[in-house]
């Protein structure tokens, strides 16, 4: 028997009565990746007509809706009703609501179509607990529970829904929940548990206390934040807009292509002769084959001239392109959308002819801008990189990549942060290759302290802070 959820259309589904037996039903969502879809229904029987109208207004349980078709149209029209109901569910058009005393407690809303809603019934005697991937947050003045394991969201419309979720942080039976939370009947609790269970947000607790996801070999290594980031920055498990949507166009100005100069202490950098290098440099295949991470250095430190050449070959602005949504640049490394949101900072530990301290690179002028000398924060940032490279050597120069986040998120939606991390990879590989061609010692670094970095250079953490690091030094000759 079907569970007595109240079924209704998602808010963006419109039903138009073309004539007494013709209806057009369509998803009108203009945002998001959900495909627009239209169903033209012909020769609609009166009972089906009224069932579909119910779905687009107050809704009804499957039993109520099928009963009304049975009463109005007779038994032979029931298969047609079920055919269409299944189709609506398949399209992700149907919400399932748990209600009590005429108040809705929770509503399951599909956020991606073409995922069949497999009802998984719960019982009030069994113990259940929340999935570690389920999380609550506020959306459009409502409390929502979502999970990267799910293709749905559940709106917790009433305080009792939120109280149930809170209790389910620990294993609980439906009977215990009824005793703890006032105003709930066993039927409402059972339905609520079934709703969360069918939405991959709840696990059955067996005797050993471990729910299925705890024993799953493929899930065990996923951290909550990683899986959420993965599911939300890739398509397929959400209906948010994704890609170049320019959602802040006409709302906030985009950050300029070039970061304003950060101090008056300017150091001009050496510019190599690129044409000469093209003719005389190591072959591409030699560089590719010889590239490796090197974590210890020569006795003599890297020089300012080498640093200048290295940065010129990796990160200078080569030219500016005017796009219809603003200026973009070209640099030796590829970058998503030509936004070049990554600001480059060089933290000098030991570099010949360059005082120890923090410098900002100006890619359009090929200059360093001195921000601060050696201090406690600088020591801590260098030490972090030292520990990350297995305590081989203090880095001679630590490069820190810090995106001006809005440069990317002004253009991209859903994938902005993911793209920034990919841009870090693109820059790191370019740095590896140029360092190899210059007989220097390169190594990417996999972690760093973004709070400390923002405090060191005085940026607003939410506008610009570190997302990647790279260390460089002189090669030892032995």
Ligand X SMILES: Cc1cc2nc3c(=O)[nH]c(=O)nc-3n(C[C@H](O)[C@H](O)[C@H](O)COP(=O)(O)O)c2cc1C
Choice between 54 and 428, CB closer to ligand X:
428
- Structure tokens given for 329: 């640049």
**With the C-alpha atoms ordered 158, 160, 161, 163, is the resulting torsion angle positive or negative?**
positive
Pick 35 or 447: Cβ nearer ligand X: 447
User: Minimal distance in Å, beta carbon 429 to ligand X?
Assistant: 8
* Contact present, 472 and 441 (Cβ < 8 Å): yes
Q: How far is CA 286 from CA 129, 294, 410, in A?
A: 57, 17, 40
Residue whose tokens read 């209906």: 239
Q: Which is nearer to ligand X, 182 or 446 (CB)?
A: 446
Question: Min. distance of Cβ 276 from ligand X in angstroms?
Answer: 28
Shortest gap between Cβ of 233 and ligand X (angstroms)?
Answer: 17
Q: CA neighbours within 13 Å on the CB side: how many for 366?
A: 20
- Minimum Å distance from CB 452 to ligand X? 16
Q: How far apart are CA 330 and CA 471, in angstroms?
A: 24
- Using DSSP's 3-state secondary structure scheme, residue 372 falls into strand
Shortest approach of ligand X to residue 293 CB, angstroms? 4
Least separation, in Å, of the C-beta of 295 and ligand X?
A: 6
Question: How far from the centroid of its chain's Cα atoms is residue 100's Cα?
Answer: 35
Assess contact for 11 and 69: CB atoms under 8 A.
no
CA gap 38, 93 in Å, rounded: 11
DSSP 3-state of 458: coil
Through-space distance between the first and last CA atoms of the chain, rounded to whole angstroms? 79
Residue among 234 and 292 whose Cβ is closer to ligand X: 292
Residue pair 255/406 in contact by the 8 Å Cβ criterion: yes
Minimum CB distance to ligand X smaller for 178 or for 471: 471
| Cβ 384 to ligand X shortest distance, Å | 10
In the bound state with ligand X, the residue whose beta carbon lies nearer, of 226 and 364, is 226
> Nearest CA to 199 among 269, 132, 145, 150?
150
Q: Which residues bind ligand X (CB under 6 A)?
A: 292-293, 295, 388-390, 428, 443-446
Half-sphere exposure of 137 (CA within 13 A, CB side): 7
Q: Which is nearer to ligand X, 35 or 425 (CB)?
A: 425
Q: Least Å distance between CB 443 and ligand X?
A: 5
User: Distance between CA atoms of 59 and 2, rounded to whole angstroms?
Assistant: 15
- Nearer Cβ to ligand X, position 255 or 442? 442
Q: What is the edge-to-edge ordering of all strands in the sheet holding 6-9? A: 6-9, 94-100, 103-110, 152-156, 142-146, 135-139
Nearer to ligand X, 194 or 430 (CB): 430
Position of minimal CB gap to ligand X: 446
């Amino acid at each position: 028997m079907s569970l007595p959820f109240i079924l209704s259309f998602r808010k963006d589904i419109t039903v138009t009565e073309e004539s007494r037996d013709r209806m057009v039903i369509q998803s009108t969502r203009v945002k998001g990746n959900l495909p627009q879809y239209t169903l033209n229904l012909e020769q609609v029987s009166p009972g089906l007509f009224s069932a579909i109208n119910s779905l687009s207004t107050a809704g009804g349980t499957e039993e109520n809706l099928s009963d009304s078709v049975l009463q109005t149209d007779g038994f032979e029209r029931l298969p047609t009703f079920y055919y269409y109901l299944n189709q609506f569910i398949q399209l992700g058009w149907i919400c399932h609501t748990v209600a009590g005393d005429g108040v809705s407690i929770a509503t399951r809303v599909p956020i991606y179509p073409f995922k069949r809603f497999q009802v998984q019934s719960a019982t009030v005697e069994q113990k259940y607990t929340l999935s570690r991937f389920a999380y609550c947050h506020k959306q459009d003045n409502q409390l929502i529970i979502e999970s990267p394991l799910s293709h749905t969201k559940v709106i917790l419309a009433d305080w009792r829904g939120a109280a149930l979720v809170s209790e389910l942080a620990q294993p609980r039976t439906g009977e215990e929940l009824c005793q703890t939370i006032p105003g709930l009947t066993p039927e409402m609790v059972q339905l609520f548990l079934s709703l969360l269970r069918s939405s991959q947000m709840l696990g059955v607790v067996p005797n050993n206390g471990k729910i299925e996801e705890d024993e799953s070999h493929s899930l065990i290594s996923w951290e909550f934040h990683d899986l959420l980031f993965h599911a939300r920055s890739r398509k397929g498990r959400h209906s948010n807009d994704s890609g170049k949507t320019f959602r802040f166009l006409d709302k906030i100005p985009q950050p300029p292509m070039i970061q304003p100069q950060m101090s008056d202490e300017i150091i001009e950098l050496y510019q190599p002769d690129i044409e000469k290098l093209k003719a005389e440099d190591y072959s591409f295949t030699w560089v590719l084959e010889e590239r490796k991470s090197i974590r210890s250095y020569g006795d003599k430190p890297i020089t300012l001239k080498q640093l200048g050449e290295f940065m010129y070959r990796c990160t200078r602005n080569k030219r500016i392109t005017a796009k219809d949504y603003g200026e973009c640049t070209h640099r030796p490394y590829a970058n998503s959308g030509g936004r070049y949101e990554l600001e480059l900072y060089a933290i000098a530990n030991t570099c010949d002819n360059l005082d120890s301290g923090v410098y900002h690179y100006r890619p359009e002028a090929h200059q360093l801008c001195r921000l601060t000398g050696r201090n406690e924060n600088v020591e801590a940032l260098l030490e972090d990189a030292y520990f990350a490279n297995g305590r081989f050597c203090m880095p001679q120069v630590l490069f820190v990549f810090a995106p001006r986040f809005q440069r990317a998120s002004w253009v991209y939606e859903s994938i902005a942060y993911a793209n920034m991390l990919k841009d870090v990879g693109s820059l790191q590989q370019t740095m590896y290759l140029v360092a190899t061609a210059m007989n220097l010692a390169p190594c990417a670094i996999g972690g760093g302290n973004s709070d400390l970095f923002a405090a060191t250079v005085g940026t607003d953490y939410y506008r610009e802070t570190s997302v990647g690091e790279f260390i460089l030094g002189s090669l030892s000759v032995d």
